[in-house]
Amino acid sequence: MWRPLTVLLAKASGRPLALCDVGDFDGVGSAAVFLRARPDGAVVLAAPSEVKKRWVRLVTWDFVADLPCPGKAKVRADHHRTNSPCAEREYYDAEAPCAAILAVRAMGLEGDPIAESIAAIAVETDTANIRTEEARLLDAAVRAASYGEKLYIANILAREGLNALKDDKLMGLAQRGLKISEVVMDVASKVDVSEAVVLYSPRRLPIPYRQLAIELERRGAALVLILVKRGYRTYRLYCGARRETNYDCTKVAVALGGGGHKYAAGAQYKSPFYRPGEGLDRFLSVARAAAPPGTPIYVLRDDYAVQKEGELG
């Protein structure tokens, strides 16, 4: 579905309109909480980098969750330190473990067992501290889902809460997601984890790099820096830092034009057209400032082989 059309149709029929993060369960769960409160509502999912787009800025959004300000917002639920508050009514708390918990308050759904069960899952997934089977399955399902499938998940969660896990389509997505996790585990197991891990992926592979960063942290890295070359001169940074350490991913991401949290942040940037390799050099100089000297640099190959290719000086 072409997203501006969703907006036009919702506006034409007077339905309330939400804009939520497309990237993970927190965004999709926040959308589900919105739909729980407003079953007549329409949801648009977008990435933080898309919020600056003109068609997004032109709209007055009734509800925004887990995203920076799109311009005009009536109610917003968010917990990102780098996003400044902007809506008429803000449910903004940089200390909150996830946006969905703030969405429950914003929608006046405290005490609603379905809304609260969705938020409880988002607490687990957004803090990379998954303990329940339900959170494991829903996290996997969202990771494997296409745009339309994410809307499907938001809708079925809004209606049925965790009972949605009895749905065949949702379970199929969860199984697909778990399969992807196996590949991530395999790659992580090939890295000899030290205090900090720097990994360069010269080609964008169909794996969730953010999840790879989380897995490397789980295996003992205090700081994980992953750079993915996504095209001729486009680069994407993923940064993960363990909470109890002094590493700050916000600094790393901001240095490359991005943003996020202290413990999870990212950036996407381009090299000059005639010097496409400069993106890697920029990354390495930022990595040198953030990680201890001698940190090994790994390269992830197309066949998921991992090779050590030098160290940070």
**Nearer Cβ to Mn ion, position 169 or 242?**
242
Q: How far is the CB of 202 from Mn ion (least distance, A)?
A: 29
Q: How far is the CB of 289 from Mn ion (least distance, A)?
A: 27
Going across the sheet that includes 264-270, the strands are 259-260, 264-270, 234-241, 223-229, 196-201, 296-300, 306-311
- Closer by beta carbon to Mn ion, 30 or else 295: 30
Q: Which is nearer to Mn ion, 66 or 217 (CB)?
A: 66
Q: Which is nearer to Mn ion, 126 or 215 (CB)?
A: 126
Residue 133 Cβ, how far from Mn ion at the closest point, in Å? 21
d(CA 130, CA 268) in angstroms, rounded, equals 27
Would you state the torsion angle of the CA atoms of residues 83, 236, 137, 163, taken in this order, to the nearest 10 degrees? 40
Residue 257 in tokens: 């034009």
Dihedral sign for Cα atoms in the order 185, 189, 193, 196? negative
Token pair belonging to 267: 């950036």
CB-based contacts of 72: which residues, under 8 Å, 6+ apart?
A: 57, 59, 60, 61
Comparing C-alpha atoms, which of 305, 285, 291 is closest to residue 202?
Answer: 305
Contact present, 216 and 197 (Cβ < 8 Å)? yes
Q: Which residues bind Mn ion (CB under 5 A)?
A: 26, 66, 99, 126
Cβ proximity to Mn ion: between 62 and 66 the closer is 66
Nearest approach in angstroms of CB 116 to Mn ion is: 17
Q: Least distance (Å) from Mn ion to the CB of residue 98?
A: 5
Q: Provide the minimum distance between the beta carbon of 65 and Mn ion in the complex, in angstroms, as a whole number.
A: 8
Do residues 252 and 273 make contact, with C-beta atoms less than 8 angstroms apart?
A: no
Q: Nearer to Mn ion by C-beta: 61 or 283?
A: 61
- Rounded to the nearest angstrom, the gap between the alpha carbon of residue 161 and the centroid of all alpha carbons in its chain is 22
Q: How far is the CB of 266 from Mn ion (least distance, A)?
A: 13
User: Which C-beta is closer to Mn ion: that of 126 or that of 134?
Assistant: 126
Edge-to-edge order in the sheet of strand 17-21: 42-46, 17-21, 60-65, 72-78, 89-92
